[in-house]
Amino acid sequence: MLSFGSCRALDSIFVAQTGQYDSPLNPYSGRKVIFSKKDGPEVLRYVYQSSFDFVRIERIERGAPDNAHPFEISIDSLRQRLASLKLKDEAVLTSDELDKIVPYLTAAFAKASPKEDITFALTGKHGLFGKVSSKTVTTARIFARDQRLHVIFGEMHDPFALALQGTDILQPFTLGKRAERIDFHWALTPGMGSLANADRPDWVTFDISGIELVTKLIVKPELQSTKEVEVVLVPVAKPTVESIPKSGVEPASTSGRAGSEVDRRAEEINLRLRVLNRLKESGAITEEEYHERRRAILQAL
């Protein structure tokens, strides 16, 4: 079970601005909430943490293949994909929720390594009574691999605040996992994406092979000491690759299946190396971190 109770490893913009993370108040008792568990060793650092919400970078799940991180995606592109997701007839994430979390997700993608996932928890108001409904939480694990963006939900519109009636202790939020799904009966519509398979209605993937995403990294002067980065991302059209004929003899060239796979992997590696170089040049990562992550990327060849 995963939690977000500890701030020992915080590397967040929120903390950089305020100097500390303060536990949220229980809406029923007015006292500070006590988290039942501290962060485990899988939690590496926070990109954002405020109240019950967070975006953080974790160690990749045991046995999972390496991700294509660092990864570049524009705020608009990521927002459009997440905005297309529906739970029954309701958006999984409202416009306000997307405005709050998507910039931090794009920043996390630019900072993560191949052996790291991004996770988030986002609270809001969902239900029949709109803004007067009980506070809910939506959690997910998100990562990029094989030119697809993967989003695995853990909890969705869960009225967690009701559990704080009569107690100030909050159990950890549950995040999505590759190995298994939570027992639920969601009617999730994947929108611009598709479900991973019929048995995983919690796992949505989006095709991200159609565009190349170029990032301009700017380190704000007031955040230079904390190495926090403002990420401005601009989508650039990517040349269309003609599909391989389904019948006939394929030529022994890069237009064949093996050649196309080699080209795809080479393009992915080159993109990740370019992102890494920009992070180093902007001061977002140290020289030691640069060499460590470059070595990890090249080991995937």
pTM of the model: 0.66
Q: Is the pLDDT at 104 greater than 60, yes or no?
A: yes
Structure tokens at 247: 């019948």
CB-based contacts of 84: which residues, under 8 Å, 6+ apart?
A: 190, 191, 192, 193
Looking at residue 168, what is its pLDDT? Answer: 77
The phi and psi torsions of 83 (rounded to 5 degrees) equal -70, -20
CA atoms within 13 A on the CB side of 99: 4
Q: Name the pLDDT band for 271 (thresholds 50, 70, 90).
A: confident
Q: Is the pLDDT at 190 greater than 90, yes or no?
A: yes
Q: Name the pLDDT band for 5 (thresholds 50, 70, 90).
A: very low
* CA distance linking residue 225 with residue 228, whole number of Å: 8
Name the residue type at position 22. D
Q: Kindly list the domain boundaries of the chain, sorted by start residue.
A: 13-207
Looking at residue 166, what is its pLDDT? Answer: 79
Q: Name the pLDDT band for 70 (thresholds 50, 70, 90).
A: very high
Q: Find, among 72, 60, 10, 96, the residue nearest to 175 by Cα.
A: 60
Mean pLDDT of 50-73: 93
Looking at residue 205, what is its pLDDT? Answer: 96
Mean pLDDT for all residues in the chain: 75
CB 138, CB 124: distance < 8 Å: yes
Mean pLDDT of 135-162: 91
Q: Is the pLDDT at 157 greater than 80, yes or no?
A: yes
Angle at 101 between CA 99 and CA 107, to 5 degrees: 115
Q: What angle, rounded to 10 degrees, do the helices at 95-111 and 257-282 form?
A: 90
Mean pLDDT of 267-284: 74
Looking at residue 240, what is its pLDDT? Answer: 32
Percent of the chain scoring above 90 in pLDDT = 35
Q: Is the pLDDT at 280 greater than 80, yes or no?
A: no
Per the model's pLDDT, the better-predicted residue between 74 and 268 turns out to be 74
Residue listed under structure tokens 């090249």: 298
Window from 24-28, 76-80, 238-242 with minimum mean pLDDT: 238-242
Per the model's pLDDT, the better-predicted residue between 130 and 204 turns out to be 204
Taking the CA atoms of residue 208, residue 209, residue 211 and residue 213 in that order, the dihedral angle to the nearest 10 degrees is: 60
* CA distance linking residue 97 with residue 223, whole number of Å: 24
